Amino acid sequence: MTAEPQKFLLRVYIASDVAMKVTLTERTKSVEELINMLREKVKPRLDFEFTLQYEDPDFDRELCCLVDVQDLPEKGTLKVVRSESDTYTNTSSNTDILPHVPVSQRQTTWPDIFPVPTFSYEVEHILEEGNHNILENMAEVMHKFKPYPSDRDIGMAAEALVTTHPCLKEPGSVSGWYRWKTGLKIKMVNFRTKLARSGCVEVSVNTGKRSKNNPEKEHPHSNIKRTRRAEVNYLPDFPRGENQDSLEEMRVQIISEVEKREKNLLLIENLMQKTFALRRQEIVLENPLMKTFLEKWPALQIEAQVCAEFQRITNVNLRNQFYAELDRHTPQLMALFRQKAARTYKVSEMLRDILSVYDRTLALRAIPVYLCEEDPQFFNVGCMYSVHTQIC
């Protein structure tokens, strides 16, 4: 009698509350092949880069990363986890290992072309009498990008306004929007005052300075705490339902989790995301020493959390940005290194040794690829400890 073919029955969670049943007639040859098969079966819901986690029976069914396809049980549960390299959006699922920026936080930097908001139907017809409504809407949109726009930023917004609505252009003015720029400056000051009174930390941090009642205090225009060029989320408010005490308890929990031998990285990630506002207030208001700050937040010494914190502040993927800039400058750097290596200095000799090793490596590895005879067993790639040691 022939043996009955092995079948695999899998429950795949493509989101925190969405599971799909998948049946495989045989075990795939690799994890990558399994990922591609799932992407085809669940297309287009898995149109992003992801990894897989499975419930490991050796650890009381705790989730573990699926590295070897041989660990896949015949009947089990898989969880789709969005990869860190994938671009984060507001609609990304809660299964992401690296955090996405919550909707309540600022999502982007100041744009190259300012998006003028859509006004009400009545304002579109009586724009000349709707200055207050126009300035109010413009101030709200400007604040979504930064609470303290520069003079150039405000000028860009005013220019975009009259470009979108030519009837608002000022007759006799060289630019056609100078008065709108002045009006937007005043409106932004009033808008920040309203936000500060309502408790918005990002602007209330700059209140309580010199006034008629307090003439001895700091000048109101000195030491303004505002976003720097690359920052998107400078001083966010605490998450809804949380306060200083509850976030401090989470900070202590993070320290406890980091000190464990087997860290729960997903728990650390969730707690770090929730306590982001607490860290920003500590940095902006207290300006602590780096050593003291890392002692209070040891999770920031984990590589993944360094990238995640950078993402929270700037909404930019640190690794992707670094490698993109490295690729952009590599041709000029290589040309500079080779030019330097052609000289007769000690540094030039070291550069020649380095370039010689990597040129040989490139040639050896590229020859079989170029001849379409690539054999994965042909090379044994290892670590190179110095330019004078052989590649193992």
pTM higher than 0.75, yes or no?
no
CA distance 194 to 227: 19
- Contact predicate 53/97, CB 8 Å: no
Q: For residue 308, what are its two tokens?
A: 């995640």
CB 81 within 8 A of CB 53: yes
**Under DSSP, is residue 64 helix (H, G, I), strand (E, B) or coil?**
strand
Q: Which residue has the tokens 């500060």?
A: 196
**Radius of gyration, alpha carbons of the chain:** 28
d(CA 234, CA 256): 27
> Residue 257 and residue 263: Cα distance in Å, rounded?
6
Amino acid at position 389, single letter: T
Q: Which residues pair with 22 in a beta bridge?
A: 10
Taken in order 175, 229, 220, 141, is the CA torsion positive or negative? Answer: positive
Residue ranges of domains in the chain: 8-82, 99-225, 244-316, 323-392
Tell me the C-alpha distance between 297 and 279, whole Å.
8
Q: How do the pLDDT tens digits run along the chain, 392 residues long? A: 455 566 778 888 887 777 888 888 888 888 888 888 888 877 767 777 888 888 888 877 888 888 888 888 888 888 888 876 554 444 444 444 444 445 556 767 788 888 888 878 777 777 666 788 889 899 999 988 888 888 999 999 999 999 998 888 888 788 889 889 999 999 998 888 888 888 787 777 777 665 666 666 566 566 677 777 778 888 888 888 889 899 999 999 999 999 998 999 999 999 999 999 999 989 888 889 999 999 999 999 999 999 999 999 888 899 999 999 999 999 999 999 888 888 877 888 888 888 899 889 888 888 888 888 766 666 666 655 554 444 44
Angstrom distance (rounded) from CA 86 to CA 229: 24
Mark 123-147 as b/e (b = at least 16 C-beta within 10 Å).
beeeeeebeeebbebbbeebbebbb
Would you state the CATH architecture of domain 8-82?
Roll (3.10)
Q: Give residue 176's region: left, alpha or beta (phi > 0; psi -120 to 50).
A: left
Tokens of 291: 């050593």
Tally the residues of the chain: 392
Q: Count other Cβ atoms within 10 Å, centred on residue 264.
A: 13
Where is 55: in which H helix or E strand? Answer: strand 50-56
Q: Is 178 within 8 Å of 170 (Cβ atoms)?
A: yes
Q: Where are the alpha helices (DSSP H) in 101-233?
A: 121-125, 131-145, 151-164, 178-197, 201-204
